[in-house]
Amino acid sequence: MGSSPNVGVTESSDTNPVALITGASSGIGAATARHFAHSGTNVVLAARNETSLTAVADDCEAAGSNALAVPTDVTEYDAVAALVDATIDRFGRLDTVVVNAGIGEKRDVPMSELPLEQFERVTETNVHGAYYTTKAALPALSDANGSLVFVGSYKGKHPSTSTPVYAASKWWLRGFALSVAGRVGPDGVGVTLVNPSGVTTGFGSEFRERTNDAALDDASTLDPSDVAAAIAYAVGQEAPATVTELDLNRRDIYERF
């Protein structure tokens, strides 16, 4: 369900850069918002969970940033378009977009038994949501010579027998991100795909019995702040430089091979 963006706000005279982050109510998105806020970037936070989103916005405000929380379901294009409009109305600009919203299916379910609902939810969020966000945000990013960051996955470059639908969505995202880079790079937009391996977050809460932070060893696994720092590094590149693709892995990632 999409929600109407905050009303009653007026365009700001603040000249600090503005970053919009989807999936910003927890995990990588929330960590990225806080990282940007501490560096002086104004943030626009989008997710479905309004209560959690508002809490993250409060953290960003406490760090000295101006923060706007816009409850948004990225599977609805009109909601995403309204999110971008709310950003421009509030701040008058948009410099960075982090396409982060994503979900996964239940692990190790035979393909013949995987509920269609899970295939549809993963595809609508990870594929349609990424497309809708990109489509809605690109005009403003082109005006700003801004940055567009896609949060991919290790599983977007390697097969995943345990989560084939999620992996397929991230393989699609990789192809889309690199193709968009070829399309809009000449317009001055820097496009980056960040591929983290497993991260200790609440990812998996929608369909799985255990989330990543319960299933993964936090002593040897990436945490959300690691990914946030990688995203900020990519965004920090000055034109004409850009980080096209960044693989962020735990140090023992290739031991399994």
- Residue written as tokens 């998996």? 204
In tens, the pLDDT along 185-198 reads 999 999 999 999 87
CB 23 within 8 A of CB 72: no
- Residue written as tokens 């989560």? 163
- CB under 8 Å to 19, separation ≥6 — which residues? 32, 33, 36, 41, 42, 43, 44, 95, 96, 97, 98, 235
Residues in the chain, total: 257
Provide mean pLDDT across the span 205-216: 51
Cis check: omega of the bond before 240, within 30 degrees of 0: yes
The fourth-level CATH superfamily of domain 18-252 is: NAD(P)-binding Rossmann-like Domain (3.40.50.720)
Query: Whole-prediction pTM value?
Result: 0.88
So where are the chain's domains? Answer: 18-252
Predicted confidence (pLDDT) at residue 150 exceeds the cutoff of 80: yes
Cα dihedral 85, 90, 94, 96, rounded to 10, equals -100
Please pick, among 131, 132, 154, 166, the residue that the annotation labels catalytic.
166
pLDDT, residue 87, reads: 98
In tens, the pLDDT along 52-73 reads 999 999 999 999 999 999 999 9
Catalytic residue flag (residue 166) = yes
pLDDT, residue 253, reads: 81
